[in-house]
Amino acid sequence: MGRALTGSVVSRPGGRFQASIRVAPGNPARHYELFDTKAQATAWCALAASNLAEGLPLPSRDVVLGKSDPSRTARPKSQTVVAPQPRVRLTVEQVTDAWFHEVYIDGRSGGADRANTVRAMLNRRVAPFLQPIFDKGRPMTREEYRTYLGDLGRPSDVHVPQRRGPRTAEGLSQDTLSDVRRCLDAVIKLGMATAGWEVPFDVADVRTPRSRRKASPKAASLSLTEVAQIAEHMHAVHQVTLWTCRILTLRLGEAYGMRVGDLMPLGDGSGRGLLWLHAQGGRKFHEFDGDEVVRTNFKEGMKHAYSERMQLVPDPLMRLYDHVIDVFHTDPLSGRVDQTARLVPAMVVGDAGGQETFRLALKSAAKAAGVSTVTINGFDRQELRLPNPKDLRASAVTDLEWVPGLDPTALRRFAGHAPGTDVHALHYVADQPFNEKIVQVCQAMENLIMRALPNGLMVPTVRKCTTGSQPLLQVRADDIETRLRQHGWLLMEADALGDPWLTIDEVAELLGQAPTTIRRWTREGRIHASPGNARGGTHRGHKIRRSAALAFAELDDQRVSLADLEERTGVSYHRLYNWIRRFDLSVEPGGERLLFLPPETVTEIERLIALETGLQKVGMSFAEAATKLGVQSRTIDSRARMGTLDELPNCGPDGTRYVSRKSVQRAIAQPELMTRRRPKRRGR
């Protein structure tokens, strides 16, 4: 049901007042009347609104003026003249309203959010420039038009709002400046056609000036280790949003638009899930309700039509979602999961808001963790600003872009971008979330997570999400905090006292390692560290939880690294690494220059070592035999082909060929066997 019509009264040049009201509910056309006083105009608006509510026609101005109005005095019949029909002059406000309704209300161009943006742009940028010109009936000169466009792109008085609103003292960006000009030119064109505005030049011939506003410097991406340091200063709910944007490359509105029912585990043993992305949330959105623009907390549809997709969720993030559903969306008594709830739990109002709170929490946590985006050129990593949600999405895209071998189309679809720009890509290429190329992108993200965060995405924190600032969760504070502690997600004050922060030197003494080794492990992400206040070099002032150091030591004792196998077997690191590449053995990345070996890989390497040991007992390599006999290796090869030396049927792990020791001893005893040449063929 639409709002009741009330009409409006505005002052006009000459001291008169214009009253206007819509001709009918739902009809954008308006009826206008002029009065000498504001009281007359207000009275007419009230009477007109009453008539429209009762289904009666609009009243004439005579009903308000009455017989006492001097303009109603009848002329003598002898002086009756036929006056020409007066020309109606439309105001800038009327032309602007007409163009806006035609394009954005009736035409639905760009949606309700775009309509709301353009309405604000017309009120702040277009109408204030045109009203002093055309409402006074004078033509617009080319110089003042060009000067106004230039003022939009540089610091000037046009950026000082007359009413409440944001200030842009440094000028508009180039994209915003071009957008304002498009709207300005469209309104001028309509005014020339319908209101007789005088523009003695072609506005299309005026070149759009370049904005003087400096572009934001490009910043380096946030590594997964840096995001984990930020997560330590966030409570569990904000950590869910943080990792969703950083791993799935989602926009913030898309992260808050996910429902529990949109997530489905695959159940194929991979631990991955499938997520249907089709809505936005977390802030106020604008939607059309008939001809009216209304505000909603949830919007069906994405920023772009091609952004709607089925997203493959990596295994580490799927495990995090399982914890979220168990803690926040599962009834403690019945065990029923609320499929309609927002996956990122609401904290203040049911399934409403959250974006602005997360933005503030991200900046506060980044500041507390000492993480900031930095320039990527040169060696001077100058701090620019604290990270924002878009940096999380851009960092994920950057990480995947530089992984070799990934399909470009699959990478774009994983990030929610269009597969291409031609008709083939936009209208014929359908999504296949289980396609091998998409799976490779998901595996690449899982490898990045495993390399940087071997303990997973759930970062223990002392921050609570059940305080008085989160009333929806506070009513379940005991249950939520108990479950978070069971999952190891929440550290209570007693835990914090029993799990103190240790310096690099203290951790080195605890683990029996050198401080330089501990600093290297923190750089590699093997041990999660938080920056401290000490100075003196990279990672020198970092702090590490005692529990994190002990957990790393326990995990490290259970896994076999390539360096551990080198020490155990006596085979060099590089030979073992070449065997892994030669026989395509599986490994688990654990950080920079660190490889962990699964049990099957260790078993295969031990088999290769046993094979080489067996060959060395009964044979000699070609190089060793050549040294023993004082000949070249190619002579050993030729004698093996002639049968003088007995070549063993198996090669070593490096592809090394062997001859039997007995045949070498026979050749030593009979030197003529090595010097005898192959008989010449006839004709040579």
Q: What is the pLDDT of residues 529-577, one digit of tens each?
A: 765 443 333 444 567 878 778 777 766 666 677 877 888 888 888 888 8
Question: Mean per-residue pLDDT for 181-206?
Answer: 93
pLDDT of residue 535: 38
pLDDT tens, 378-389? 445 555 678 889
Residues β-bridged to residue 286: 295
Question: Mean per-residue pLDDT for 572-592?
Answer: 79
Decide which of 504 and 313 is more confident: 313
Q: What are the C-alpha distances in Å from 8 to residues 42, 59, 157?
A: 8, 15, 29
Q: Tell whether the model's pLDDT for residue 72 goes beyond 60.
A: no
What is d(CA 413, CA 277) in angstroms, rounded to the nearest whole number? 12
Please state the φ and ψ torsions of residue 461, each to the nearest 5 degrees: -145, 155
Decide which of 147 and 527 is more confident: 147
pLDDT of residue 2: 56
Mean pLDDT of the chain: 82
Q: What are the C-alpha distances in Å from 307 to residues 139, 247, 275, 278, 430?
A: 46, 16, 13, 8, 12
Q: Which of 12, 58, 74 is nearest to 38 (CA)?
A: 12
What does the domain layout of the chain look like in residue ranges?
A: 8-66, 92-205, 224-474, 499-558
Report the SS3 class of residue 284: strand
pTM over 0.75, yes/no: no
pLDDT band at 75 (very low <50, low <70, confident <90, very high): very low
pLDDT of residue 524: 63
Give the pairing type, strands 658-660 and 619-621: antiparallel
pLDDT band at 592 (very low <50, low <70, confident <90, very high): very low
Q: Tell whether the model's pLDDT for residue 578 goes beyond 60.
A: yes
Give the pairing type, strands 544-545 and 501-502: antiparallel
Least confident span in 136-145, 520-529, 565-574, 663-672: 520-529
Q: Which of 620, 666, 628, 616 is nearest to 644 (CA)?
A: 666
Q: Is the dihedral of CA 509, 514, 516, 518 positive or negative?
A: negative
pLDDT band at 258 (very low <50, low <70, confident <90, very high): very high
CATH of 8-66, one of 3.30.530, 2.60.40, 3.30.730, 3.30.2420: 3.30.730
Q: Tell whether the model's pLDDT for residue 587 goes beyond 90.
A: no
Range 393-425 burial, b when 16+ CB lie within 10 A, else e = bbbbbebbeeeeebeebbbbbbbbeebeeeeee
Percent helix, strand, coil in the chain, to 5, is 50, 15, 40
Q: Which of 242, 305, 254, 260 is nearest to 279 (CA)?
A: 254
C-alpha atoms less than 13 angstroms from C-alpha of 573 in its C-beta half-sphere: 9
Identical topology for domains 224-474 and 499-558: no
Question: Mean per-residue pLDDT for 290-298?
Answer: 78
pLDDT of residue 148: 93
What is d(CA 118, CA 91) in angstroms, rounded to the nearest whole number? 19
Q: Characterise 137 by phi-psi region: left (phi > 0), alpha (psi -120 to 50), beta (else).
A: left
What is d(CA 303, CA 254) in angstroms, rounded to the nearest whole number? 9
According to CATH, the superfamily of the domain at 224-474 is Intergrase catalytic core (1.10.443.10)
Q: Tell whether the model's pLDDT for residue 476 goes beyond 80.
A: yes
The answer to whether the CB of 457 falls within 8 A of the CB of 317 is yes
Decide which of 316 and 109 is more confident: 316
And the tokens for 480?
């939520």
Question: Mean per-residue pLDDT for 249-273?
Answer: 91
pLDDT band at 338 (very low <50, low <70, confident <90, very high): very high
Q: What is the CATH number of domain 499-558?
A: 1.10.1660.10
Most confident of 73-77, 189-193, 295-299: 189-193
pLDDT of residue 166: 52
Q: Tell whether the model's pLDDT for residue 650 goes beyond 80.
A: yes
What is d(CA 668, CA 661) in angstroms, rounded to the nearest whole number? 11
pLDDT of residue 73: 47
Q: Tell whether the model's pLDDT for residue 323 goes beyond 90.
A: yes
Q: Where do we find the tokens 């599986």?
A: 586
Q: Tell whether the model's pLDDT for residue 681 goes beyond 60.
A: no
Question: Mean per-residue pLDDT for 431-435?
Answer: 82
And the tokens for 254?
């898309």
Most confident of 72-76, 284-288, 655-659: 655-659
Q: Tell whether the model's pLDDT for residue 315 goes beyond 90.
A: yes
pLDDT tens, 153-165? 888 877 766 555 4
